[in-house]
């Protein structure tokens, strides 16, 4: 079943379904069929949602934000969209947290673990998975954010509310507005704001690469293309440039 809502932000094309296998797979197919940029598919439940490194991503029906967004741009700009979406998601979640907290100064801060995991009090709040077609010049950014329910050891936005609980749809509307603001900035401004949101830089990290290899070192910087720069623990003259990988924060690098 598909529903529409006329209250979505301007210039976004949003479709909502009760259940699907994967919003990413469905929207990717829509993109190949000619769907416009800024098309959005949001589901109350996914039966075959996936995370990075082919991990299963599941949530209770209707509790969390399960959404995919389609962006079309020049091929060399496609990698910027997941970072724009990640930055927008942190801001939209932070805004809801601030509204829900009576003492705004004590509201927990949401940060990003490279490349685009949302962390709240060090626990995972959400994650993203992107698939792109450089020849046809589009990328689909899939996002899962814990709103009303979280798996063990993760965290949900609802844990910080005693009343007027946030909803997945409300969060999505805020996030789309944030994306519309951020995409108007220059690439340099977008990059600076994304880097400022990262909790990863300066930490000792372990990175699992897609080929199964592990790298341990200090997360030093992120370049304009979003690649993580890691100084190897064993040989500090070795600097790894990482496009894709799963990062574990070990500790602050200056703690020994």
The mean-pLDDT minimum among 78-92, 96-110, 195-209 falls in 96-110
Say whether both 22 and 136 belong to one domain: yes
Q: Is the same domain home to 122 and 71?
A: yes
**52 and 164 belong to one structural domain:** yes
Mean pLDDT, rounded, of the chain: 90
Write the DSSP string, the chain: -EE--TTSPTT-EEEEEEEES-HHHHHHHHHHTTPPTTEEEEEEEESS-B-GGG-B----TTTSEEEEEEEE--GGGTTHHHHHHHHHHHHHHHHHHHHH-SSGGGPPPEEEETTTEEEETTEEEEEEEEEEETTTTEEEEEEEE-SS---TTB--GGGG-SSS---HHHHHHHHHHHHHHHTTS-HHHHHHHHHHHBS-TTEEEEEEETTS-EEEEEEEEE-TT--EEEEESS-TT-EEEESSEEEEEEEEGGG-
Mean pLDDT over 63-92 rounds to: 97
Mean pLDDT calculated for residue range 140-159: 94
Structural domain that includes position 226: 203-255
Together in a domain, 139 and 232: no
Residues 22 and 79 in one domain: yes
Q: What is the pLDDT of residue 60?
A: 75
Residue 50 has pLDDT above 90, yes or no: no
pTM of the predicted model, to two decimals? Answer: 0.91
One domain for residues 45 and 117 = yes
- Mark which of 197, 218, 237 sits at the end of a domain: 197
Give the model's pLDDT for residue 59.
Answer: 66
Residues 86 and 64 both lie in one domain: yes
244 and 228 in a common domain: yes
The arithmetic mean of pLDDT across residues 190-214, rounded, is 95
**pLDDT at 251 (0 to 100):** 74
Predicted local distance difference test score (pLDDT) of residue 55: 52
Number of C-beta neighbours around residue 185 at 10 A: 14
Instruction: Kindly state the average pLDDT of the residues 150-155.
Output: 91
* Across 185-207, average pLDDT: 97
Q: What is the CATH number of the domain that holds 139?
A: 3.30.930.10
Q: What is the mean pLDDT of residues 48-70?
A: 73
User: Tokens 């060399």 label which residue?
Assistant: 76
Query: Same domain for 141 and 64?
Result: yes
218: CATH = 2.30.30.100
Of the three residues 157, 172, 197, the one that is the final residue of a domain is 197
Question: Domain check: are 62 and 106 in the same one?
Answer: yes
Number of domains composing the chain: 2
% of the chain exceeding 70 in pLDDT:
89
pLDDT confidence bin for 62, thresholds 50/70/90: confident
């Amino acid at each position: 079943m598909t529903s529409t809502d006329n209250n979505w932000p301007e210039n976004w094309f949003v479709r909502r379904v009760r259940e699907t296998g994967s919003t990413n797979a469905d929207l990717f197919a829509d993109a190949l069929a000619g769907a416009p940029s800024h098309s959005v598919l949001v589901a109350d439940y996914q039966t075959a949602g996936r995370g990075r490194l082919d991990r299963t991503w599941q949530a209770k029906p209707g509790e969390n934000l399960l959404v995919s967004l389609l962006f079309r741009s020049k091929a060399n700009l496609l990698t910027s969209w997941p970072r724009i979406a990640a930055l927008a998601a942190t801001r939209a979640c932070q805004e809801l947290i601030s509204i829900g907290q009576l003492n705004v100064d004590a509201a927990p801060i949401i940060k990003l673990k490279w490349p685009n995991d949302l962390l709240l009090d060090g626990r995972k709040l959400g994650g993203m998975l992107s698939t792109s077609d450089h020849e046809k010049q589009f990328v689909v950014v899939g996002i899962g954010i814990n709103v009303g329910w979280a798996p063990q050891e993760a965290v949900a936005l609802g844990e910080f509310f005693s009343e007027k609980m946030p909803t997945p749809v409300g969060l999505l509307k805020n996030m789309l507005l944030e994306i519309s603001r951020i995409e108007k900035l220059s690439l340099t401004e977008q990059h600076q704001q994304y880097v400022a949101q990262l909790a990863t830089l300066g930490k000792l990290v372990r990175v699992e690469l897609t080929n199964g290899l592990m790298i341990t070192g200090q997360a030093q910087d992120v370049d304009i293309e979003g690649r993580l720069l890691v100084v190897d623990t064993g040989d500090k003259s070795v600097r790894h440039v990482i496009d894709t990988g799963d990062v574990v924060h070990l500790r602050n690098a200056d703690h020994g």
